[in-house]
């Protein structure tokens, strides 16, 4: 068994235990393998171990990797999620290459994705990124501005607003990790109550996925626990 396959098994076990603790079926949580900075070969190893959904933060790297993996596995359907910051001049390749975008924080970005989504691909799945911890260095719409942005994005063609995403301030204490995730869940519930359908909470990474699952995560974004430590240029 490859290291990646073994790591996937370990992450799977963590999610399973967290689901049991939360009284949730395992099927309610999707594992998104975050493959940024790792080569297409690492993705192919993960696919061989059964993984089908992958997240990329950097546009050109992601587009190149999608093409390389598709060439190697022309008959395998994978799901690709863009989870990095979005510049307005980069929306066209995102709209054309990815199945999901987790990091929409401005109406202008959503409008461009809607206009540039190739119709034959069907609607692009969208999560709104919320700056849940109020950090100046973090991207995301504020909780106060969220309801209006959700209303505007939900009305756009060629997009399907699915839910909310957050990257909270890191915490070591598992109980403190749960607090911002609970807040994101409450924000989603308020939006649903206003009449907008949401079914996704994209929250939790390698260090806090258990806390996220306990608070209702439907997608956990796990990178280093699967692929190992990242090596940035």
pTM of the model: 0.96
Assigned domain for 197 exists: yes
pLDDT tens digits along 58-106 = 999 999 999 999 999 999 999 999 999 999 999 999 999 999 999 999 9
**How many domains is the chain partitioned into structurally?**
1
**Hey, is 146 helix, strand or coil?**
helix
Assigned domain for 109 exists: yes
Assigned domain for 233 exists: no
Assigned domain for 232 exists: no
pLDDT truncated to tens, each residue of the chain (233 aa)? 779 999 999 999 999 999 999 999 999 999 999 999 999 999 999 999 999 999 999 999 999 999 999 999 999 999 999 999 999 999 999 999 999 999 999 999 999 999 999 999 999 999 999 999 887 778 899 999 999 999 999 999 999 999 999 999 999 999 999 999 999 999 999 999 999 999 999 999 999 999 999 999 999 999 999 999 887 66
Assigned domain for 167 exists: yes
Q: Give me the domain span that covers residue 17.
A: 3-227
pLDDT at 133: 86
Assigned domain for 61 exists: yes
Q: 200 φ, ψ to 5°?
A: -135, 135
Q: How many CA atoms lie within 13 A of 152 on its CB side?
A: 14
Assigned domain for 98 exists: yes
pLDDT at 230: 80
- The CATH code of the domain that includes 7 is 3.20.20.10
Encoded tokens for 189: 């519930």
**Hey, is 232 helix, strand or coil?**
coil
């Amino acid at each position: 068994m490859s290291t990646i396959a073994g790591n996937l098994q370990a992450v799977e076990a963590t999610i399973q235990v967290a689901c049991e603790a939360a009284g949730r079926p395992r099927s309610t949580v999707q594992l998104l393998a975050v493959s940024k900075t790792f080569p297409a070969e690492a993705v192919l190893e993960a696919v061989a171990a059964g993984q089908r959904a992958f997240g990329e933060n950097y546009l050109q790297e992601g587009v190149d990797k999608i093409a390389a993996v598709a060439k190697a596995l022309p008959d395998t359907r994978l799901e690709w999620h863009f989870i990095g910051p979005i510049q307005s001049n980069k929306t066209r390749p995102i709209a054309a290459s990815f199945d999901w975008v987790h990091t929409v924080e401005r109406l202008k970005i959503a409008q461009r994705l809607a206009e540039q989504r190739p119709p034959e691909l069907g609607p692009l799945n969208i999560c709104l990124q919320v700056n849940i911890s109020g950090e100046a260095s973090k991207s995301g719409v504020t909780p106060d501005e969220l309801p209006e942005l959700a209303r505007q994005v939900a009305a756009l063609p060629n997009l399907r607003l699915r839910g909310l995403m957050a990257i909270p301030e890191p915490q070591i204490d598992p109980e403190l990790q749960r607090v911002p995730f609970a807040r994101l869940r409450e924000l989603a519930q308020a939006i649903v109550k206003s009449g907008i359908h949401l079914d996704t909470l994209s929250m939790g990474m390698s260090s806090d996925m258990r806390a996220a699952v306990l608070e209702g995560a439907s997608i956990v974004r796990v990178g280093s626990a699967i692929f190992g430590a990242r090596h940035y240029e």
